[in-house]
Structure 1
Amino acid sequence: MPLFCLFLCCIIIMLQVFASNRQFMETSRYVLFAHMLINDTLQILSSVLLFLCVMAQVKFAMVLCVPLLVISTATFQNTTLILAAMSLERYVAIFYPLQRPAAWRSDRIWITVVSLWFISFVFPIIEYAMKSGNPAVLGLTTPVLCKVTTINSSFIQTLFRAAVSVLFFAVVAFVILFTYVRILLETRKLRQDRLSVRRAMHTVLLHGFQLLLCILAFTGPITETLVVLHKVWTREDIAFFNYFCFILVPRFLSPLIYGFRDQVLRSHMVKNFLFCTKTVKPFFKQ
């Protein structure tokens, strides 16, 4: 919970910087980054709520459970799509600096953002719309323990979820690898403005690292199989370990690393922090 509160504070400061400086909203790269901040915040809020309910064995109706699961799943998948979009944006900025395609201009980037949200929500809705194989789940008012294995217990749903996850990560990995290799080859050709090209290459490499952090979420079953051999650990301890290390920590590190790495954004955050500290007057007068 302390890390969760710290994460929210950093996100609020970053979004306040975006809202108070028009130059950020007029740059496609920062618009996509703000979109990632909002997406990861929704993902953490929904996943933390679901995790606490499962750990406390709190049951509530499916009509409330399914929307939370859809939001959690969609925002998790949307993170990978945002990473691919940000890598393509760097690719377009390097190879088409003067004549950008319409979809990547700052005034049209909302089309890409809406498309990412649409794609990320379509597959979870299809998955949860499939008929559940759990006979205990009778209707929308049935109180259930809100987790994926309870609602989506059929083999078809499990196979569909696995196929969608593999498809998402394979496509995003290909996009990141493609953009990184093209930008790497471009650095050898250009003699001018090599600094910006190298920065773009490092940014794409960072997106690859962020994708690797997202993939760690799928190591949960493997970790449970290995750790369950040690009888000292209970099932609840294993679940908390997997959730903290493979869900929360990557979500904490991903936006913070990218945000504090950017010099322009970091300078504005420092200015806002110093301004807030100066406006706080001491309670006692000397």
Structure 2
Amino acid sequence: MRKTTIITMRNTAVAIFVVWAFGSLNILTRVILLLDFPFEDLESLQMKDFCAKVNILLGQMSVLYDKGYTYFLFVSAGVAIICSYIGVMIAARSASTDKASAQKARNTLLLHLLQLVLSLSSTIQNPLLTAFSKVLDRETLVRIQLYLYVFIIIFPRCLSSLIYGIRDRTIRLVFVKHLCCQWRRSRFQ
């Protein structure tokens, strides 16, 4: 089998090292750009928009780097998701001879594709908040920030376990029982 020749301890260690190095390179670049800022103007700086890591981008180079990094991350993750989805779809179609099994595999893959796209949308959360901060008041912005956090950060991570839990007959009964019980209890209060 070809999988055992590709996935070795050495290749796994190299992949982990590359991911860590890429993440560390981003942080190191941000620190270097932060050190480039003239700190004699620090007393006059005030946080005007909202409290976020974006507000630490003090210089123009930091802002350009953040935009470039966000675009690069979004595009590269999007390409990886599309290529992975196409590869898995081709493998699932060629492996399955049963139509019902192929349909179930396609639906599962579409679920995971939706989850990955929602996770990918988390890269645009900060640019959205920055754009909203220029036209909305602080209270509305905080509400939007909370909604975005729930729907862009938390929801995609819970989606597949929720769907697989609902698919399982045993868990579905317990889930529906507790959901309906909570709904009935809250309706009467």
> Tell me, which stretches of 5 or more residues in structure 1 are unaligned?
1-95, 139-143, 229-233, 271-286
What is the rounded CA distance, in whole Å, between the counterparts of 1:133 and 1:247 in structure 2? 33
* Alignment partner, residue 87 of structure 2: 182
Which structure has more relative contact order (CA 8 Å, sep 6+)? It is: 1
What is the rounded CA distance, in whole Å, between the counterparts of 1:191 and 1:221 in structure 2? 47
Amino acid at match of 1:210: S
TM-score (norm 1): 0.44
Summarize deviations over 1:37-89 as a string: whole Å, max 9, x none: xxxxxxxxxxxxxxxxxxxxxxxxxxxxxxxxxxxxxxxxxxxxxxxxxxxxx
Conserved? CA contact 1:216–1:246, under 8 Å: yes
Amino acid at match of 2:25: V
* Alignment partner, residue 102 of structure 2: 194
* Alignment partner, residue 19 of structure 2: 116
Distance 1:149 1:211, change over 3 A: closer
Amino acid at match of 1:171: S
By percentage of residues, which structure has more helix?
2
* Alignment partner, residue 136 of structure 1: 41
Aligned-residue offset at 1:147: 4.9
What is the rounded CA distance, in whole Å, between the counterparts of 2:103 and 2:16 in structure 1? 28
Conserved? CA contact 1:187–1:194, under 8 Å: yes
Summarize deviations over 1:202-259 as a string: whole Å, max 9, x none: 323421232134434421233234x43xxxxx3x214312321223442221211133
Distance 1:261 1:115, change over 3 A: farther
* Alignment partner, residue 257 of structure 1: 159
Residues matched between the structures, number: 161
Conserved? CA contact 1:134–1:153, under 8 Å: no
TM-score (norm 2): 0.62
1:207 to 116, 126, 147: 116
Amino acid at match of 1:212: S
Secondary structure of 1:153's partner? Answer: coil
Aligned-residue offset at 1:122: 1.8
What is the rounded CA distance, in whole Å, between the counterparts of 2:152 and 2:29 in structure 1? 27
Amino acid at match of 2:30: E
CA RMSD of aligned residues (A): 4.0
Larger radius of gyration: 2
Summarize deviations over 1:159-203 as a string: whole Å, max 9, x none: 011111110110000111122223334444444363674234532
Aligned-residue offset at 1:149: 5.4
What is the rounded CA distance, in whole Å, between the counterparts of 2:63 and 2:102 in structure 1? 47
Amino acid at match of 1:219: L
Percent identity, please: 8
